Structure 1
């Protein structure tokens, strides 16, 4: 089955979609979450990493975490900074930033290939494709839910020093 990350429908011709097996998707999300957790300084940067960490297949189900780049919680006012942060996060992941926290050795060549494709997508993504409702809906606390989508105070896992999502630590959940 696997997962797909792609450009928005109106710009899918700009960069080819990224198709990954379920296992490769888990590694992809984990290395991005680790890199971003090390590099994030602002609340917006932390939120982007938490959003990525919520794509935890061990909790939400395998083959269900693909997305389009415009599904990410971008904002109009700080989009340029958000995109630069994502580019730094991708570069950090490509350099192995935080990989020592994994309980396995990723297939470096394959994950770097995927991260490079993702970098092309982030770079090609246009501010005009942002739908502010996506961020607002994602960050909103549901009345019937006992926990926030974004954990209050941006806590990190004590073991892995990675931002926790509403599902907990993506590395703990996957047995690292």
Structure 2
């Protein structure tokens, strides 16, 4: 089954979709969540990492966390800073930033290859392709929601020091 991360149609000729097995997808999301949690300073940066951490297959289901780059919660006003932050997060993950928090030794060559491909995708993505509805729908707080999509105050896992999503800690959920 696996998961696919893809570009908007107008970019498909530039960068092909990134397909990963379910296991590789889990490692990919975990190392991005770790790197981004170390690097995030602003609330927007924290939100981008929380969005990625919500792609937790152990909670939402195997093979269900693929996405299109325009579905990420980009904002038009801060797009360039957000894009720079995601590129910096990917570079940190490629460099192994925080990988010691994992309870296993990932297959580095496979993960790095996927991270490099993702870096190309983010680098090619442009402001004109943002779907603002993605951010608005994702960030909306419903009155009766006791676990909001974006946890209030941006709490971190006490054990792993990464941002919690509405599914809690992606590393704890996966047994790290």
Question: Which residues of structure 1 form unaligned runs of 5+?
Answer: none
Aligned to 1:65: 65
Distance of 1:103 and 1:73 partners within structure 2:
29
The TM-score, its normalising length taken from structure 1, stands at 0.98
Moved more, 72-81 or 2-11: 2-11
Deviations 1:83-124 (A, max 9, x none): 000111000000000100000001111100000000000000
Aligned to 2:24: 24
Shift in Å at residue 142 of structure 1?
A: 1.9
Distance of 2:125 and 2:29 partners within structure 1:
19
Aligned to 1:40: 40
Aligned to 1:94: 94
Shift in Å at residue 146 of structure 1?
A: 2.1
Task: Point out 4+ residue stretches in structure 1 off by more than 6 angstroms.
Answer: none
Equivalent residues in 2 for 1:27-176 (5 A)? 27-176=27-176
Number of residue pairs matched?
176
Distance of 2:61 and 2:98 partners within structure 1:
25
Distance of 2:51 and 2:4 partners within structure 1:
16
The TM-score, its normalising length taken from structure 2, stands at 0.98
Distance of 1:115 and 1:54 partners within structure 2:
18
Question: Which residues of structure 2 form unaligned runs of 5+?
Answer: none
The alignment partner of 1:152 has SS state of coil
Q: What RMSD in Å do the two structures reach over aligned CA positions?
A: 0.7
Distance of 1:144 and 1:9 partners within structure 2:
37
Moved more, 120-129 or 143-152: 143-152
Distance of 2:147 and 2:166 partners within structure 1:
7
